Structure 1
Amino acid sequence: MQKEQISVFDMFKIGIGPSSSHTLGPWRAAQQFVQLLENLAQLQQVTQIKILLYGSLAKTGKGHGTDIAVLLGLSGDDPVTFDVDQIEPKIENIQQSRHLNLGGKRSIRFSYEDDLLFLMGSSLPFHPNAVTFQAFLENGKAVSETYYSIGGGFVVNDNGTSSAAKPEVDLPFPIETANDLLHWCLKTGLKISDIVMENELAWRSEEATKAGVLQIFEVMKGCLYRGCHTSGYLPGGLNVARRAARTNKRLLGDDVYHDYESWTSAIKQKSNSFPYTLDWVSCFALAVNEENAAFGRVVTAPTNGAAGVIPSVLQYLLIFCDKNSIGQTIRFLLTASEIGSIFKKGSTISAAMGGCQAEIGVSSAMAAAALTECLGGSQRQVLMAAEIAMEHHLGMTCDPIGGLVQVPCIERNTMGAIKAITASQLALQSNPDNARVSLDAVIKTMWETAQDMNSKYKETADGGLAVQIPISMPEC
């Protein structure tokens, strides 16, 4: 595996659903291609653009909104700030006008049918999520670049590098494996979140890091609140009913609240029974991924398909564990990010490479570790919690019905959240000296499992539930 320096803001990205690898990644790739044209001083010479989608991007691209993402990226729109309510009208305008405003600066003719190609039978060897952009110029020449969306919104080109990569710095605590992380923790006595913060200081100030992490949390809060108060059916043709709002109403009844703070206060005051807590953990996870499936704004954690696990477990900590503080929130997200980065370095966070174990499994491990640290666990118990969570996701396939991030993806976030809490509790009640499986061992096993897994179970909708359930059949 290639060594890389991963920041908390690489693992947690603000974007738009429904997929980090099929939506956010291609969106970023399109932006990078426009920037390439500008750097070459050729943007104003472009007369035509062709987009070639390969492998998994082709097979499940429409269900994941890949076509929408690349068009918005080529138009110069950014997933962090673009108004999600304007997605549909803007795409309709591009299709009907048959024009694309490249980078917001160069209007060219564009045919959705002829210039955006889903090459279902073709796949490139480097990674299943590949997109090639071809720009034809006035002088008869062309500029072509291929990008790979390798999971979690990370994008690289044919050389395996990213034009959006951070400058390399000297990290005080270089980490490639869980054993490296444990080494630094034991040597310094620092908690995992403290190690992460020290590394982040190599890029920016502590104040800037904390502000950025809290911005991530603000987006999570907004997503949770919207998801728990939006009814109806999800787009895409499966007619999946949104359930989070219905659950929220059943649990709170006629309680009055006006915003996120008063809402969470009402949740906390109502009850602390096990069934009530369990229902809320599931509701939080459903809310986030229903928003994700509806092209809402979410935080990639570490992917969009698994975006509900970490916010759900964090809400559990803040509401039901009496740990509601800014400091705990920052500690939680810093710890989670480091566990996610170790998985990315040692295995994959791409379902197209490793199945759903790479998404829900990794997010569950991240959440379990973060919860364990915030509940007072030792550094070794934190790593043990991450190992337990992933151990019981090994081999999970990615088989989205209709190529949509809905069934079974949304419910899987509830399962990942509950497993994270269970893994944390097991680790907190255990002596890591007695553990027989290390986190590094489970990461290695996950990667080997990913390599052995049949490609039809890797986000292609060619196997599993995707071929067993008629498209017209509702979820419940």
Structure 2
Amino acid sequence: MTLSFFDLFSIGIGPSSSHTVGPMRAANRVLHDLSAQGRLTDVVRVRVDLYGSLGSTGRGHHSDRAVLLGLLGEAPETVEPTQVGPTVERVLTQHRISLLGRHEIAFDPAGDLILHRRRALPEHPNGMRFRFVGADGDLIADRVMFSIGGGFVVDADELRERTPRAEAEEPYPFSTGDELLAVCAEHGLTIDQVVWANESTTRTPDEVRAGVLRVWGVMQECVRNGFGTNGRLPGGLNVLRRAPLLHRQLTVAASDALTDMDWIIAYALAVNEENAAGGRVVTAPTNGAAGVIPAVLHYYRSHMPGADDDGIVRFLLTATAIGVIIKTTASISGAEVGCQGEVGSACAMAAAGMAAVMGGTPRQIENAAEIGMEHNLGLTCDPVGGLVQVPCIERNAIAAVKAVAAARTALHFDGNHLVSLDTVVKTMRDTGADMMTKYKETSRGGLAVNVIEC
């Protein structure tokens, strides 16, 4: 396991992990590299080009704003969402930008930040090029970066490697479902215990637990904000924020046999409406799919007897194992494989986590994840207007309900099943490779062209 819980569940802002969080991190990283070389103050001009899906839907996903924030030295984990608008507006109106907050230069947004709607770099659909020019017109640095999903950014060399190197030797390495099940069987461990042991190679057990619960705290805050904020979402589609309305209905109306399902939907809507508004969210494993896991977690914590923080940790570490497998052997990037890689992955991860806290065996948990992913195969990424709103918000709500159903289905049986998790993940990867580009986060196909924007 070369990926960590803290990689897959990172704290950032909406509306997109690959289109907002990734570009912010990329801009921040290349400037810090330049500063480390002592060349930051030599820069008199910056030129940034966004390609592929970043160029096609970058305006709606706030990729342009994210680049500016990264150049200013802001990081997704610490930037204050309420200050993003005013900060960006100052750059746009003053035509000045302070690189890393230390070195101010002239900046013309019209000529220095270009979104190429019809051009893509061959290596990956989410490509960025940063060029830094000196006083004599000399090229100080020319960096190409890629946002590969979930807020992860890599350069060309790292992209070829595809998986990051582990910082420390892990006691129980795995990269596939079969390997994970073999580790559990050989050592008599649950899936969350395997991940716990691996996480503890770089952090103390107390740090692991505290970090997991901090992420859970941000998820809770996101739901509270979503329930407490009325109005319509920005971007031009005039989408009503429905989470507050549904929350009020659920707190005053008499319950029925399906009310728990309504709560799951409400939790997911709250998170994804906050994400669409640029609020603080957790990539889980991406921003576009950020509502699925928090919704199922809230259902567990608030509606299931005996739920506690130990269960929260068990849930999230189990989900981490599934996320590691999917990202290592396939992709979680909508621009690379469509929404099956985002919402499908989140559904599989949530199903596994729910099965774990319901007492499932490793094989039942693997089956739950497989069911969650299998029934999202072929899901396209076709956001209307390039915004992470339609169909993204509802899609998270339905996937959260589906995750609970997948976990319950798996637990009715002994875990033996025909299609393995590895098989369905490979199928997802192959389906994504065959999927036409217009259905992969470009807003040039599907609902994006058949829904009239009003």
- Distance between the aligned counterparts of 1:192 and 1:61, measured in 2? 38
- Distance between the aligned counterparts of 2:164 and 2:380, measured in 1? 30
**Is 1:122 aligned to 2:104, yes or no?**
no
> Does the CA contact (< 8 Å) of 1:317 and 1:323 recur in 2?
no
Matches within 5 A, 1:30-429: 30-142=27-139, 143-160=141-158, 168-253=167-252, 271=255, 273-429=256-412
SS of residue paired to 1:121: coil
- Distance between the aligned counterparts of 2:42 and 2:147, measured in 1? 27
* TM-score of the pair, normalised by structure 2: 0.97
TM-align CA RMSD: 1.4
> Does the CA contact (< 8 Å) of 2:3 and 2:164 recur in 1?
no
Q: Give CA deviations for 1:86-135 in whole Å, capped at 9, x if unaligned.
A: 01111111000100010000001011111110111211111000011111
**Is 1:470 aligned to 2:441, yes or no?**
no
Q: Which amino acid aligns with 2:224?
A: Y
Which residue does 1:430 correspond to in 2? 413
Which residue does 2:422 correspond to in 1? 440
- Distance between the aligned counterparts of 1:121 and 1:229, measured in 2? 39
- Distance between the aligned counterparts of 1:274 and 1:415, measured in 2? 18
Shift of 1:168: 2.4
Shift of 1:20: 0.4
Q: Which amino acid aligns with 1:293?
A: A
SS of residue paired to 1:460: coil
Shift of 1:36: 1.4
- Distance between the aligned counterparts of 2:62 and 2:165, measured in 1? 27
Which of 441, 444, 450 pairs up with 1:459?
Answer: 441
> Does the CA contact (< 8 Å) of 1:229 and 1:248 recur in 2?
no
Q: Give CA deviations for 1:371-391 in whole Å, capped at 9, x if unaligned.
A: 001100111000000000111
SS of residue paired to 1:147: strand
> Does the CA contact (< 8 Å) of 2:281 and 2:290 recur in 1?
yes
Shift of 1:251: 1.3
Q: Which amino acid aligns with 1:456?
A: K
- Distance between the aligned counterparts of 1:392 and 1:82, measured in 2? 36
> Does the CA contact (< 8 Å) of 1:247 and 1:283 recur in 2?
yes
> Does the CA contact (< 8 Å) of 1:230 and 1:245 recur in 2?
yes
Q: Give CA deviations for 1:163-204 in whole Å, capped at 9, x if unaligned.
A: x96762111111110001000100111110000000011111
Q: Which amino acid aligns with 2:196?
A: M
SS of residue paired to 1:388: helix
- Distance between the aligned counterparts of 1:113 and 1:361, measured in 2? 37
* Structure 1 runs not aligned, ≥5 long: 255-269
- Distance between the aligned counterparts of 2:424 and 2:405, measured in 1? 18
Q: Which amino acid aligns with 1:10?
A: D
- Distance between the aligned counterparts of 2:118 and 2:420, measured in 1? 40
> Does the CA contact (< 8 Å) of 2:8 and 2:320 recur in 1?
yes
> Does the CA contact (< 8 Å) of 2:25 and 2:70 recur in 1?
yes
Shift of 1:274: 3.0
Q: Which amino acid aligns with 1:107?
A: E
- Distance between the aligned counterparts of 2:43 and 2:218, measured in 1? 36
SS of residue paired to 1:60: helix
SS of residue paired to 1:274: coil
CA distance change for structure 1 residues 241 and 7 in 2, over 3 Å: closer, same or farther?
Answer: same
- Distance between the aligned counterparts of 1:471 and 1:113, measured in 2? 26
Shift of 1:77: 1.0
> Does the CA contact (< 8 Å) of 1:227 and 1:288 recur in 2?
yes
Question: Equivalent pairs: percent with the same residue?
Answer: 47
Shift of 1:140: 3.0
> Does the CA contact (< 8 Å) of 1:309 and 1:363 recur in 2?
yes
Q: Which amino acid aligns with 1:122?
A: R
> Does the CA contact (< 8 Å) of 1:343 and 1:349 recur in 2?
yes
* Structure 2 runs not aligned, ≥5 long: none
Q: Give CA deviations for 1:312-365 in whole Å, capped at 9, x if unaligned.
A: 000111111124311011111111111011000111000001000000000000
Shift of 1:160: 2.0
Q: Which amino acid aligns with 1:226?
A: N
Q: Which amino acid aligns with 1:238?
A: L
CA distance change for structure 1 residues 240 and 71 in 2, over 3 Å: closer, same or farther?
Answer: same
Q: Which amino acid aligns with 1:56?
A: S
Q: Which runs of 4+ in 1 moved over 6 A?
A: none
Q: Which amino acid aligns with 2:371?
A: I
> Does the CA contact (< 8 Å) of 2:2 and 2:164 recur in 1?
no
Shift of 1:139: 4.1
- Distance between the aligned counterparts of 2:341 and 2:309, measured in 1? 29
SS of residue paired to 1:156: strand
> Does the CA contact (< 8 Å) of 2:286 and 2:332 recur in 1?
yes
- Distance between the aligned counterparts of 1:102 and 1:322, measured in 2? 52
Q: Which amino acid aligns with 1:418?
A: V
> Does the CA contact (< 8 Å) of 2:158 and 2:164 recur in 1?
no
- Distance between the aligned counterparts of 2:154 and 2:302, measured in 1? 39
- Distance between the aligned counterparts of 1:239 and 1:328, measured in 2? 38
Shift of 1:443: 0.7
- Distance between the aligned counterparts of 1:194 and 1:231, measured in 2? 41
CA distance change for structure 1 residues 207 and 307 in 2, over 3 Å: closer, same or farther?
Answer: same
Q: Which amino acid aligns with 1:79?
A: P
